[in-house]
Amino acid sequence: MDKNKIQKDELIPRAKRSSLSSRPSLLKATFAIVQKDLAAEFRSFELVSAMLVFSLLVIIIFNFALELDIKVRQSVTAGVLWTTFAFAGTLGLNRSMSTEKDRGCMDGLLLAPVDRSAIYFGKAISNLAFMLIVETIVLPVYSVLYNVNLFRLDLIGIILLGSIGYVAVGTLLSAMSVQTRTREVLLPILLFPVAIPVLLAAVKASNGLLTGADFAEVLIPLNILIVYDVVFIAVAFMVFDFVVEE
């Protein structure tokens, strides 16, 4: 009886020690997930190519729907770009999460002895990477098609901030929507009302830059973008555990 007890006491700390030492750090685990996603993507280019073709189609539709002549163009460029990014973004978010779910990868990730938030950050960073790849191709194409220079460091900064906010909340919501019955249909419905602040602030800031408004006018939406990014990354980080737990 006594002997048994002693053995048990000895066992527990050893087990704890071994689980601690084999547990990779948050940063390492996050980058492992990013690496996995990027490697899978660079083999097939399934996601990025779909997002890209879709983006170009959206721009073509806008071209004729809005009659993008030189006068209209100046005031709507920011709106057209962000609408395109938002639509292409939902496409990517849906796909990247549903491949995890369909092939049972998500269960594998959840079983891995890593912090759950590493899964969130890993997926969010790879989603952001896909979105940025698409944006870096759409921007020059748009610049050439409409003869406006979109290669400005300040504009790229705004696009980066906007994409971060969009992906931060989108990754969380796509993890939720893939687990429902309606799946792909549900993500935009869940995401757009919550992401409206980031999209509107990004449009306002980009529009200010493109029309050459005062910096003070750009500063307020820029601040809101930063606030949104910080708040939603923090909230998503805190609640992601509840979304994936079984």
Partner 1 sequence: MQTKPIALKILDVVSIILLAISTYLALFFAPMELVMGQVQRVFYFHIGTAWVGLLGFVIAALTGIVYLITKDMKWDRFGVAAVEVSTVFFFLTIVLGSIWARPAWNTWWTWDPRLTTAAVTELIYVAYFMLRQGIDDPEKRARFGAVYTLLGGVSAPITFMVIRLFRTIHPVIVGAANANQEKMSMTGDMKIAFFFALFAFTIIFIDLIWHRVRLGGLEDKVEQLKLKVSM
From the list 33-41, 102-110, 125-133, 165-173, the region that binds partner 1 by CB under 8 A is 165-173
Query: Quick check: 81 and 199 in contact, CB under 8 A?
Result: no
Q: Is 232 in the site for partner 1 (CB under 8 A)?
A: yes
Q: Is 213 in the site for partner 1 (CB under 8 A)?
A: no
Q: How many residues bind partner 1 (CB under 8 A)?
A: 33
Q: Which is nearer to partner 1, 52 or 218 (CB)?
A: 218
Phi, psi of 24 (to 5 degrees): -75, 160
User: Which residue from 72, 189, 213, 230 is in contact with partner 1, where contact means CB under 8 A?
Assistant: 189
The nearest distance, CB 11 to partner 1, in angstroms, is 30
From the list 49-57, 132-140, 155-163, 238-246, the region that binds partner 1 by CB under 8 A is 238-246
Q: Which is nearer to partner 1, 35 or 180 (CB)?
A: 180
Q: Which is nearer to partner 1, 49 or 223 (CB)?
A: 223
User: Which residue from 2, 9, 214, 245 is in contact with partner 1, where contact means CB under 8 A?
Assistant: 245
Q: Is 75 in the site for partner 1 (CB under 8 A)?
A: no
User: Which residue from 68, 176, 209, 222 is in contact with partner 1, where contact means CB under 8 A?
Assistant: 176
Q: DSSP letter string over the chain?
A: -HHHHHHHHHHHHHHHHHHHHHSPPHHHHHHHHHHHHHHHHHHH-HHHHHHHHHHHHHHHHHHHHTT--HHHHHHHHHHHHHHHHHHHHHHHHHHHHHHHHHTTHHHHHHHSSS-HHHHHHHHHHHHHHHHHHHHHHHHHHHHHHHT-----HHHHHHHHHHHHHHHHHHHHHHHHHTTSSSGGGHHHHHHHHHHHHHHHHHHHHHHHHHTT--HHHHHHHHHHHHHHHHHHHHHHHHHHHHHH--
The nearest distance, CB 158 to partner 1, in angstroms, is 14
Residue given tokens 């962000």 in the structure block: 82
Q: Which is nearer to partner 1, 59 or 175 (CB)?
A: 175
User: Which residue from 181, 212, 214, 216 is in contact with partner 1, where contact means CB under 8 A?
Assistant: 181
Q: Is 219 in the site for partner 1 (CB under 8 A)?
A: no
Q: Is 216 in the site for partner 1 (CB under 8 A)?
A: no
How many CB atoms are closer than 10 A to CB 176? Answer: 18
Tokens at residue 215, please? 């910096």
User: Which residue from 179, 184, 226, 237 is in contact with partner 1, where contact means CB under 8 A?
Assistant: 179
**181 Cα distance to chain centroid:** 22
* Interface positions with partner 1 (CB under 8 A): 169, 172-173, 176-177, 179-183, 186, 189-190, 193-197, 200-201, 204, 220-221, 224, 227-228, 231-232, 235, 239, 242-243, 245
